[in-house]
Amino acid sequence: MMREEASWVLLLNFVRLRELGRTTQSVQALRRSFPNAKVAAVATPATWPALKTVGADGCAIFRRDGWAGAWRLVAGLRRMNLAAVFVAYDRPDRRGHLKLELLALLVGAKRILAQSPGRQATEISQLRLGLVIAVKLAGLIFLMSWAAVVGSIVWATLSLAGRGESAISLATAELRQLEAAGANRH
């Protein structure tokens, strides 16, 4: 008789030593939901020992070596043919975690589950997760655009201040010129 290979489920969360209790609960919830599966997690070399103590069977190590390392991680996880991926949020409103959500989408798991503290895990579709990621990325792009505008204004003000002029005095002078030009037309 051929022995069936155990499937894998992937736990995605930010492991913090002070929050190991929540990570333990996530691993236990995965074991209840997928009793025949092995639990894997993504970790850094520093967080792997902590994940091992809470019951993870395996780990994909993420090394901070740029895009090439990130793509190697995704490719390795895709080869595992994951039964499910479980995103454990550390906030009830599911804010943040853009990297984990993107990873959850890219690994190609058959099911995607998400859980916030104090709530039941819910299954979410790839389409919904993709839309969540798109909205978060659009928000980041918007914020970065505004940061560039504000940075330009600050740079211009500091540049003017370096010449002994202030933006307020220049704006006041410009307004006076406009008022004078308008008064001269009448």
Residue 131 lies in a domain: no
Same domain for 142 and 56: no
Instruction: Output the pLDDT for position 98.
Output: 82
* Domain finish residue from 95, 124, 153: 124
Tell me: do 29 and 70 sit in the same domain: yes
Q: Are 12 and 87 in contact (CB under 8 A)?
A: yes
Please report which confidence band the pLDDT of residue 163 belongs to, taking 50, 70 and 90 as the band edges. low
| Largest distance between two CA atoms of the chain | 101
Q: Give yes or no: residues 89 and 119 share one domain.
A: yes
At position 134, the amino acid (one-letter code) is: A
Alpha helices in 94-166 (DSSP H): 98-106, 126-162
Strands 122-124 and 111-115 turn out to be antiparallel
Point out which residues pair with 115 in neighbouring strands: 88
126: confidence class by pLDDT, cuts 50, 70, 90: confident
Count of positions (residues) in the chain: 186
Inside any domain, residue 160: yes
Total domain count for the chain? 2
Specify whether 35 is located in the same domain as 91: yes
Q: Are residues 72 and 46 in the same domain?
A: yes
* Residues 101 and 150 reside in one and the same domain: no
| Residue 2 maps to a domain | no
Report the predicted TM-score, pTM, of the whole model to 2 decimal places: 0.67
Q: Of 77, 99, 124, which residue constitutes the final position of a domain?
A: 124
DSSP state of 17: G
155 with 84, same domain: the answer is: no
pLDDT score recorded for residue 159: 67
Same domain? For 28 and 78 the reply is yes
The 10s digit of each residue's pLDDT in 17-63 is 666 777 888 888 888 888 888 988 888 777 788 778 888 888 888 87
Q: Which domain holds residue 105?
A: 8-124
Return d(Cα 99, Cα 104) in angstroms, integer: 9
Token pair in block for residue 56: 């993870």
How far apart are alpha carbons 122 and 120 in whole angstroms?
6
CA–CA dist 132, 88 (Å, integer): 15
